[in-house]
C-alpha cells in the first residue's frame, strides 16, 4: 500500500473562498510525493497537541514545507530592529510555528521518517535550540543572492555534499545543483544535527542526524533548497522523495 505522508501547509491571509485566513500548499509538494509513490495528506490547522499526535500516528511520514519566516522570538529575541523589519511572519499569530514545533516533537517521539524543506529545515534547527541567520544580505558579507524566485524551478548555484552522507548516497553526487528562494538560513546546526551540504558562501544547505548511540530515526533529511520544484527535470532531486517514501513504506513498530 502507498504510505500516507503528512504535508504541512502555509497559512495565507486571504484564500479563494470567502477570503478567509486559509491553508495554502503548492501542488509541487503533492506531485513530488505522488510521483515517488506516496499519498499526501494535509496537516489539520490546529495547535491541539493530542490531535496532532494522533495525526502523526496515523501517517507513515512527515513533510515540512516552505513558506513565511519564523518568529524571531523563537531563536533570537534580541534581533536588531533593522533586521527584524525584514522578517515576514505567518499571518496567523505564530500558530503555524507552534503547530509545526509540535509536529517535529511528535515525529521524533514516534520515530517517523521526516523530510524538512526550506522553512521546515530552519524550524527543525530551532526546535533543537539552534539559531538562524535572519537576513542573509545584512548578516553574511559577500553572500550569494539566495532569493532567486525568478528561477524557482532552476538550479542557481551548487552545494558541496559531505562524502558518505545520506544526501550524497541518495543523489549519487559530491556536488549538487540547487535552486534558492530564501532570505534566511540555518546559522549553525543544533547539536543533534550535522551540516551535510554547504553553498559556496558557506550557508547550510542540508542537515542530517548525527549517528549517536541510542538515538536513531528511520529517515531524517533537512534541506534549504526546494527539491519538489526540480523533480520533473532532475533525477537526483526526484531520488530525495523516492528514498523518503521508501522509508515511509517500511513497517513502523510504533504505528498502532
Give 105-120 pLDDT, tens digit per residue.
999 999 999 999 999 9
Q: Which percentage of the chain shows pLDDT scores above 90?
A: 77
Cell of 170: 541518495
Query: Quick check: is 225 in a domain?
Result: yes
List Cα–Cα distances, 239 to 41, 52, 97, 120, 161, in angstroms. Answer: 20, 28, 28, 19, 15
* Catalytic residue numbers, as ranges: 118, 226, 228
Number of domains, the chain: 1
Query: Quick check: is 23 in a domain?
Result: yes
Mean pLDDT for the chain? Answer: 93
Query: Quick check: is 256 in a domain?
Result: no
Query: Quick check: is 60 in a domain?
Result: yes
The alpha carbon of residue 9 and the mean position of all alpha carbons in its chain are separated, in whole angstroms, by 11
| Highest mean pLDDT pick, 148-152, 158-162, 212-216, 248-252 | 158-162
Q: What is the pLDDT of residue 214?
A: 58
Rounded mean pLDDT of 87-98?
A: 92
Query: Quick check: is 254 in a domain?
Result: no
Hunting for cell 484564500 — which residue is that? 15
Structural domain harbouring 170: 4-249
Does the structure show a pLDDT above 80 at 157?
A: yes
Query: Quick check: is 255 in a domain?
Result: no
The domain that holds 10 is classified in CATH as 3.40.50.880
Amino acid at each position: 500500500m502507498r504510505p500516507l505522508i503528512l504535508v504541512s501547509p502555509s497559512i495565507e491571509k486571504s484564500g479563494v473562498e470567502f477570503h478567509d485566513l486559509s491553508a495554502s500548499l503548492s501542488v509541487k509538494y503533492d506531485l513530488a510525493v505522488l510521483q515517488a509513490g506516496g499519498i499526501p495528506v494535509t496537516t489539520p490547522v490546529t495547535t491541539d497537541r493530542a490531535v496532532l499526535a494522533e495525526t502523526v500516528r496515523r501517517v507513515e511520514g512527515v513533510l515540512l514545507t516552505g513558506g513565511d519566516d519564523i518568529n524571531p522570538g523563537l531563536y533570537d529575541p534580541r534581533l536588531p530592529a533593522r533586521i527584524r523589519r525584514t522578517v515576514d511572519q505567518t499571518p496567523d499569530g505564530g500558530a503555524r510555528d507552534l503547530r509545526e514545533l509540535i509536529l517535529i516533537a511528535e515525529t521524533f517521539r514516534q520515530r517517523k521518517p521526516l523530510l524538512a524543506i526550506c522553512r521546515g529545515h530552519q524550524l527543525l534547527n530551532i526546535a533543537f535550540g539552534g539559531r538562524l541567520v535572519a537576513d542573509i544580505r545584512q548578516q553574511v558579507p559577500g553572500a550569494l543572492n539566495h532569493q532567486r524566485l525568478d528561477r524557482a524551478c532552476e538550479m542557481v548555484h551548487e552545494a558541496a555534499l559531505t562524502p558518505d552522507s545520506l544526501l550524497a548516497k541518495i543523489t549519487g553526487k559530491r556536488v549538487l545543483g540547487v535552486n534558492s528562494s530564501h532570505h534566511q538560513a540555518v546559522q549553525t546546526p543544533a547539536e543533534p544535527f550535522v551540516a551535510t551540504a554547504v553553498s559556496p558562501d558557506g550557508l547550510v544547505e542540508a542537515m542530517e542526524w548525527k549517528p549517536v548511540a541510542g538515538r536513531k530515526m528511520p529517515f531524517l533529511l533537512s534541506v534549504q533548497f526546494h527539491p519538489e520544484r526540480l523533480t520533473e527535470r532532475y533525477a537526483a532531486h526526484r531520488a530525495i522523495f523516492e528514498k523518503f517514501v521508501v522509508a515511509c513504506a517500511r513497517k513502523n513498530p510504533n504505528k498502532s
